[in-house]
Structure 1
Amino acid sequence: MALVTNAHVSFMQTYTSLTVAGARISERRHEEIGMGTWGIGPFEDDTAADFADTLDETALDERENLIRSTLNRTVQAQDYLDFSEAVEAVAAAALIAAQCPDGEPVTTSFGPDEALPLLATDLRTLAAEALDRVLAEESELAELWDDTDDGPRWRQSISRLRGILDPRTKPQEDSLFEI
């Protein structure tokens, strides 16, 4: 019979990998990014799902204001951008991008259930600026993703989203692997 100590259990728990929604994130990195993060998509996080729930609970004529204020808060952040604010900004940007000509609908069960009104087109620029802020150095979300193996894929997904919002800007091409 093998002796398993608390240190062994801790090591095994820390480095156990989990595969959820096609994304492999080590448990240790999963805890660092956020216990409720399971993938790189805009709604693959408990904070984003909570944002979607808040949108659903908001009156139809106030949903655009909620999205706008979320993006403004991110763009206007002077100091270090908090994880939750960044996650909500990415989710808001994805909802705006879904209404763009090349946008993809938000079909995840963790996104809003209630319909959104047709959003003002000026939100596209604001959402692109918010994504720039999310990708900047002073962003907790970017910092956490950059410390994972999926960091380049996450950055690429944000860049693609930004490219939909502002098609004049070529999305950043991060390689998914080194040659």
Structure 2
Amino acid sequence: MGTWDVGPFDNDTAADFCGDLDEAAAGEREGIVRGALTRVIDTADYLEAPESDVVVVVAALVAAQCPGGEPADPVYGPKEPLPDLTGLRDLALRALDRVLTEPSELMELWAESDGGPWRANIRQLQNVLLPQSPGEQPSLI
């Protein structure tokens, strides 16, 4: 797997997943996203890095549709339109929590290097995904 930066779209696994979303029928995309989230949430054993990379990019795609979310990467993100994913905010938060809970290969890999910027990106995603009351500012996790 190639990783070139700390952002959610900055690795081969994420780029491949976004390509797979583009190739899927429009009506199947939400199910693919939901399935990726629930598979990770349901993983009690060692969570492999590729599954975690997919969850991080999926969380970024959900967050991109939320107030304060960053748009998907124009190069590595999906090119085809996605359905409304905002109803998956809670699942995305739970999946990100699982990525940050041992045993998690991706968390271990970033702990071996300077994982501070990666963790900051994950916290930013979590903050965007948190439900907000009207007029309420997001609180930092």
TM-score of the superposition, structure 1-length normalised?
0.72
1:49 to 15, 22, 37: 15
Match of 1:106 in 2: 72
Return closer, same or farther for 1:113/1:158 CA change in 2, 3 Å cut-off.
same
CA distance in 2, matches of 1:171, 1:90: 18
C-alpha contact 2:37 2:95 (8 A) present in aligned 1 = yes
- Structure 2 counterpart SS, 1:138: coil
Equivalenced residue count is 136
Quote the RMSD (CA, aligned, Å).
Answer: 1.4
Q: Compare the two structures and name the one with the higher strand fraction.
A: 1
Runs of 4+ in 1 over 2 A off after TM superposition: 167-172
Percent of counterpart pairs with the same letter?
51
- Deviations 1:90-125 (Å, cap 9, x if unpaired)? 010000000001111113301111111122x33000
Is residue 37 from structure 1 mapped to residue 3 from structure 2 by the alignment? yes
TM-score of the superposition, structure 2-length normalised?
0.91
C-alpha contact 1:63 1:116 (8 A) present in aligned 2 = yes
Stretches of structure 2 that go unaligned for 5 or more consecutive residues are 133-137
CA distance in 1, matches of 2:101, 2:120: 14
C-alpha contact 1:43 1:108 (8 A) present in aligned 2 = no
1:136 to 83, 88, 101: 101
Q: Residue 78 of structure 1: CA displacement?
A: 1.1
2:111 to 146, 153, 157: 146
Stretches of structure 1 that go unaligned for 5 or more consecutive residues are 1-33, 173-179
C-alpha contact 2:41 2:95 (8 A) present in aligned 1 = yes
C-alpha contact 1:83 1:139 (8 A) present in aligned 2 = yes
User: Larger C-alpha radius of gyration, 1 or 2?
Assistant: 1
